[in-house]
Amino acid sequence: MIGVGIVLAIILIIAIAVVVSKKNSGDDGDSGEGNEMESGGLSSIDPTSIPKDAPNWLNPFKWADTTGFNLTYTAQTVGDLPVMGLFSKWDDSKSANEHTPPLDKPWGDYAKRPARGVNVGGWLSLEPFITPSLFEYDRRMGIVDEYTLCAYLGSRCEGVLEKHYATFITEDTFKEIAAAGLDHVRIPFSYWAVQTYDDEPYLFRTSWRYLLRSIEWCRKYGLRVNLDLHGLPGSQNGWNHSGRLGAIGWLNGTDGDRNAQRSLDVHDRLSKFFAQPRYKNIISHYGLANEPKMTELSVPTVLQWTENAHKIIRGNGVKDAIVVFGDGFRGLTKWQGELQGLDRAALDVHQYVIFNTNQIVFNHSEKVRYACAGWTEQTVDSMNRGTGYGPTLVAEWSQADTDCTRHLTNVGNGNRWTGTLKTGDPSTDVTTPRCPLMDNRCDCGPANADASEWTQSYKKFLRMFAEAQMSSFEKGWGWFYWVWDTESAPQWSYKKGLAAGVLPAKAYERDFNCDGPIPSFSDLSEAF
């Protein structure tokens, strides 16, 4: 009897404890006090407070994810862009780590304290190789970019893309980025966050609130933001990640001028919005256009557009952010003496060995050597106004040593590594194998293996290749790795690289830099 009584008493106590704790954690709308980014959830707002005719982007009941958003309805805009979702107060007192100043203190000279950052690429601007799962269609359907994807999905595009926005990058992403000793985040997004034109199938506006929320999450972890307009009206490079694969319609072709003006209008609105006081400390870099293909475009036209865009942005009150423009693949030396009138501007070069048939073929030793010698020299020369533009940063690079990753080259197009690249243009096809062995032993199998299958010596190479690049790019204004995470391309994922130990656990504590002697490491030289 006593035993049964004790058991009953224990059950009763547990039951009471559960009820009490449920009550304490219940939907108490004020639980977010002290934390600007917690909302009470949809149950805390009155559905009748949302006007019946409110568009989806102003109606949280239509959002796939409400975490971290202020759900109180407001139709207020700045630069004709909605502020809906933002909390009124913000806190700029965090630093990314003990080596960097908090957001509300100046960063200082980027030449002395280079940025160490990462891109949240493939998120608000899709790229097939980063998220192949979004592009699993029969090749004959021609779904190769965001345009063709949304054209095919029609009304389902919103559901598919918003699910991706809500899950691919989350608050944990920014927490992990700061924990890795990184201090900047480059956030690629495309013009359809702001505006769509004509009958374009792009998903209008949904990515806007995700962009705003991600900036607030950066703030929470002390990370500074490089805003990167990745897709411009007409497409500035004709590549998939501009939204639309094909001809360049920006500053080129019949609609070239119209798309130039539309892009300036987009920057006009963006810069009015980001001139708000809440962005002064956090937006460190403001990017004008990702990778304009200046090898095909008229150089003077792009330079003139760049000057116009810079003028608009400064005129609208974005005073502190560094205005970033792309090198356009011209080669850094061509920039000597150009655009010297722009205040606080920086040249952005993207460094990869795998898109160049003479560099992809390097064996492991040569790749590390090139990452040190070649890229240090380029960076140093570019930083010097006597031999290059001046301020230079590397806003994209990776550890990829092959172009084997699925969907990296256009869907179904083959690759340089095995000499199977068909681009549709015979002058850029690659029909002889370009792995170091340069014969039929060139194989994408090992290159595409999961990180768990990497050998010790391959890992040693990957780590040294990464640290060599960091070291070179820190001779300039710093670097941003491409990208934070991928579904299945581990040599392109900072997160997977950290897990595999091929990136330093803290970006500011590294084993290797290019200043000392470069070891000769025969064991790093194996080729697939």
- Residues interacting with ligand NAG, by CB under 6 A? 70, 72, 74, 87-89, 128, 144, 238-241, 245, 247-248, 252-254, 296, 363, 365-366, 407-411, 525
Q: How many residues does the chain have?
A: 528
C-beta of 17 vs 247, nearer to ligand NAG: 247
Least CB distance from residue 231 to ligand NAG, whole Å? Answer: 12
Q: Based on CB atoms, which residue is closest to ligand NAG, 56 or 413?
A: 413
CA–CA gap between residue 192 and residue 196 (Å, rounded): 5
The smaller minimum CB distance to ligand NAG, of residues 148 and 214, is found at 148
How many CB atoms are located within 10 Å of the residue 306 CB? 21
State in angstroms the smallest separation of the CB of 102 from ligand NAG: 22
How far apart (Å, rounded) are the C-alpha atoms in residues 407 and 394? 24
For the chain, the C-alpha Rg in angstroms (whole number) is 25
Q: What is the largest CA-CA distance in the chain?
A: 94
Please state the closest distance from residue 483 (CB atom) to ligand NAG, in A.
12
Is 38 designated active site? Answer: no
If you write DSSP's letter for every residue of 167-221 in order, what string do you get? HHS-HHHHHHHHHTT--EEEEEEEGGGT---TT--S--SHHHHHHHHHHHHHHHT
Q: Which is nearer to ligand NAG, 97 or 240 (CB)?
A: 240
The dihedral of CA 480, 485, 489, 494: what is its sign? Answer: positive
Which residue of the set 396, 467, 509, 526 is catalytic?
396
Q: How far is the CB of 433 from ligand NAG (least distance, A)?
A: 15
CA atoms within 13 A on the CB side of 139: 5
Chain centroid to CA 400 = 16
Q: How far apart are CA 249 and CA 261, in angstroms?
A: 12
Q: How far is the CB of 7 from ligand NAG (least distance, A)?
A: 47
State in angstroms the smallest separation of the CB of 302 from ligand NAG.
13
Nearest-CB residue for ligand NAG: 253
Return the structure tokens found at 446: 């090992």
526: helix, strand or coil: coil
- Look at residues 237, 258, 157 and name the one whose alpha carbon lies nearest to residue 201: 157
Among this protein's residues, is 200 annotated catalytic? Answer: no
408 vs 503, which CB is nearer to ligand NAG?
408
SS3 81: strand
How far apart CA 361 and CA 368 sit, in angstroms, is 13
Closest separation in Å from C-beta 491 to ligand NAG: 14
**Contacts for 163 with CB less than 8 Å, ≥ 6 apart:** 64
Closest CB 366 distance from ligand NAG, rounded Å: 5
Identified catalytic residue from 127, 291, 467, 474: 291
- Whose Cβ is closer to ligand NAG: residue 294's or residue 322's? 294
Q: Which helix (H) or strand (E) holds 287?
A: strand 283-287
Q: Which is nearer to ligand NAG, 127 or 162 (CB)?
A: 127
Phi and psi angles of residue 304, each rounded to the nearest 5 degrees, phi first:
-65, -40
The C-alpha atoms of residue 102 and residue 514 are separated, in whole angstroms, by: 29
Please say which residue, 313 or 400, places its beta carbon nearer to ligand NAG. Answer: 400
**Alpha-carbon span 485 to 128, nearest angstrom:** 13
Which CB, 416 or 495, lies closer to ligand NAG?
416
Nearest CB to ligand NAG, comparing residues 508 and 521: 521
Contact criterion met (CB below 8 Å) for 303 and 328: no
Strand bridging mode 478-481 / 115-119:
parallel
Answer yes or no: are the C-beta atoms of 73 and 51 closer than 8 Å: yes
Residues 345 and 325 sit within 8 Å (Cβ to Cβ): yes
Helix axes 157-168, 206-220, angle to 10 degrees: 10
Q: Distance between CA 206 and CA 211 in Å, rounded?
A: 9
Tell the smallest beta-carbon distance from residue 526 to ligand NAG (Å): 6
CB of 254 to ligand NAG, least distance (A): 6
Structural tokens at position 140: 């004959």
Residues serving a catalytic function are: 291, 396
